[in-house]
Structure 1
Amino acid sequence: MLRRFFASSKPINFAVIAFIVIAFLITFLLANSPALSVWDLILRQLGVLLGFMITIGTLDFVVKKNVLTRKNSYAVLCFALFCLALPSVFLHLRIIFAGLFIMLALRRIFSLRSKTDTHKKIFDAAFWIFVASLFYFSSLLFLILLYFAILFYCAGNYRNWLMPFASLLVVALLSTTYAMYTGGIMNFIAGYRVLPTYDFTNYSSPELLVPLTFFLALYLWTSLKYFILLNAASQRHKPAFVLVLIASIIALVSAVGFAPVRDGSEFYFFFGPLAIISSRYVEKGKSKWFNELLLWAIVALPVVVLFFL
């Protein structure tokens, strides 16, 4: 039933997902801030909600435009539910905005497969990655993904390899100008480079241990099927599928190796690739009842975390 409902990409599907996100977000925030009213919470979290919904819309565009899945709502649904399972994501406005800019960068990276306006697309992708790093430093790791895309789609022109440095110069000039009119350049640099922490004790708490274990198991299980689909994919679409896997690895490295805070929000960048990989499994899996059960498990995870852990 759930699999059949989200097997299409209609406005009602996105309306249901938006309602689920808003309802869970309000419930979570009320539980953590009981002194505030619903409307106060909505006004305070409006930027988070808008940034998150735009990110969902951009993810859907990237998935559909590059045929990373079929025309369904599985990827958007999974992404939203993964985030709700680690609701600490919504307490970090900087991560939400960094995730939005990374998603905009992914939009340009995957569009390189058309091999038109490559210079502009590379510049735009690098620009959004550098902007994202202003909010979350380890976002810079996604430059690796950009260079893999250049290798796959347009490696022949040496200018393509140098174009990200033009984006770096533009962002550096804009950031320096902003810093000079605010707290000063040294304060800006100190706030830009945030050192990671390697204290993983928070991961032993049930509200983090349960969802992270689920995500790891889901990633390992669905990736096996994804590799099979990857080998069977056409030469035209195979690079895009490889880029999804590379993006998932980069996001995991960012979360495990460079996160300044260990509250679950550091896995936010991982949820996009995981949602795509999981969606491919649900739509391509031979066992319909198992795929249905998997979707229900993904839906139940935020409920378990919010109300029982």
Structure 2
Amino acid sequence: MLTRLFSHSKPIAFAILSILFAIAFVVENFISTTTGFSASIIFSKLGVLAVFLLIVFLLNFMVKRNKIHQHHTFAASSFVLLIIAFPEILRSTEFVFSYFFLLLSFRRILSLKTNTNFKQKLFDSSFLLSISIWFEPFHWLFIAVIYFGVIMYASQNYRHFIIPVVGLAVGFVLRLCYFLIFENKWIGFQDYLPEFTGIDFFFDSFKYGSLLGLLLLILVWIIFQLPVIFNRAKLHQSESLSIVLFFMLISIAVMIFNNSPLAMDAIYLVWPLSILIGNYFQLKSTKKWIKEVFYMIFLAGIVFSALY
């Protein structure tokens, strides 16, 4: 049933996903919480909800515009159903804005394959990344994804390796000016240094440790399907998928080094994993019952998170 619903990209599928996500967001931010609300808080929360929905539509836009997927909503539905299982993400504010700008940066990297306005896209990507770094310092690690795109599409021109540095520098100068003018202090550079504290904190919570285990099982399954996915993909699809995989690799590094709660960091794994799931689901060799089992697992994760 769910496979049939999300096997196309008709408006009804997006409407259902948007309503489902909005309900989960309202429950987590207005019903489950015991704190008081004012008009400003309500409007700010609704603004965060709008950004979350933009992330969902941005995901669908990127995979369609860059022809990573066919016309379906498997990736968008996987993202929504997986992210709802992590309610702390739904309560975030600065974090979701940071990730939104990170995805805007990533979108410009994917568009490098057209070989048009290359320098502008590189600058835009690095500048948008710098805005994301304002909120989450460890996002500077994603500069590696920009250079991965440069190496893949235009490594013959050395100027292309300089432009990302310029874009980051512009964002850094703007950030430094803000601190000096409005807070009268320098940026705390120690916040940008990796701090590896081991992986034990991933399993401090039984709830999120179990959900992480679920995500890792899905990831392992998809990794075993990658040879088939790449064999069936066209050249431009293979290139985009390679960038997505590298983006996932850096995302995992950020999860390990930023020492943030797993309940928040799960989005780093969920977003690129959703794209790979969409590619796996569109394979003719992927049986319908396998897709239904995946969706049942997604729903089971939501129920487990709600009840625990």
- Flag whether TM exceeds 0.5 (same fold): yes
**Paired residue for 1:262?**
261
Aligned length: 306
Aligned counterparts of 1:293 and 1:41: Cα–Cα separation in 2: 39
Does the CA contact (< 8 Å) of 2:101 and 2:131 recur in 1?
A: yes
Aligned counterparts of 2:262 and 2:40: Cα–Cα separation in 1: 24
| TM-aligned CA deviation for residue 26 of structure 1 | 2.0
| TM-aligned CA deviation for residue 228 of structure 1 | 2.2
**Paired residue for 2:227?**
227
CA pair 37-128 structure 1, distance change in 2 beyond 3 A: closer
Is 1:71–2:83 an aligned residue pair?
A: no
**Superposition pairs for residues 61-210 of structure 1, below 5 Å?**
61-186=61-186, 188-189=187-188, 193=192, 196=195, 198=197, 200-201=200-201, 203-210=203-210
Unmatched segments (≥5 aa) in structure 1 = none
Runs of 4+ in structure 1 deviating by more than 6 angstroms, as ranges, are 37-41
**Paired residue for 1:27?**
27
Look up the equivalent residue of 1:278 and give its one-letter code. I
Aligned counterparts of 1:84 and 1:196: Cα–Cα separation in 2: 28
Aligned counterparts of 1:47 and 1:107: Cα–Cα separation in 2: 22
When the two chains are superposed, the root-mean-square deviation of aligned CA atoms in Å is 2.2
Does the CA contact (< 8 Å) of 2:28 and 2:90 recur in 1?
A: no
| TM-aligned CA deviation for residue 45 of structure 1 | 1.6
> CA-to-partner distance for each residue in 1:182-209, whole Å, 9 max, x for gaps?
11232x3368537647373462423202
Does the CA contact (< 8 Å) of 1:88 and 1:263 recur in 2?
A: no
Look up the equivalent residue of 2:249 and give its one-letter code. I
Aligned counterparts of 2:226 and 2:202: Cα–Cα separation in 1: 31
Is 1:280–2:279 an aligned residue pair?
A: yes
Aligned counterparts of 2:71 and 2:130: Cα–Cα separation in 1: 31
CA pair 149-271 structure 1, distance change in 2 beyond 3 A: same
**Paired residue for 2:301?**
301
CA pair 35-20 structure 1, distance change in 2 beyond 3 A: same
Does the CA contact (< 8 Å) of 2:13 and 2:73 recur in 1?
A: yes
Look up the equivalent residue of 1:151 and give its one-letter code. I
Does the CA contact (< 8 Å) of 1:26 and 1:38 recur in 2?
A: no
CA pair 70-252 structure 1, distance change in 2 beyond 3 A: same
Is 1:215–2:202 an aligned residue pair?
A: no
Look up the equivalent residue of 1:141 and give its one-letter code. L
TM-score, normalised via structure 1 length: 0.91
Local SS of the residue matching 1:85? coil
| TM-aligned CA deviation for residue 98 of structure 1 | 1.1
Does the CA contact (< 8 Å) of 2:29 and 2:45 recur in 1?
A: no
Aligned counterparts of 1:146 and 1:267: Cα–Cα separation in 2: 22
Does the CA contact (< 8 Å) of 2:29 and 2:90 recur in 1?
A: no
Local SS of the residue matching 2:182? coil
Aligned counterparts of 1:51 and 1:286: Cα–Cα separation in 2: 33
| TM-aligned CA deviation for residue 221 of structure 1 | 0.2
Aligned counterparts of 1:183 and 1:191: Cα–Cα separation in 2: 18
**Paired residue for 1:59?**
59
Which segment drifts farther, 16-25 or 230-239? 230-239
Does the CA contact (< 8 Å) of 1:83 and 1:89 recur in 2?
A: yes
Local SS of the residue matching 1:71? coil
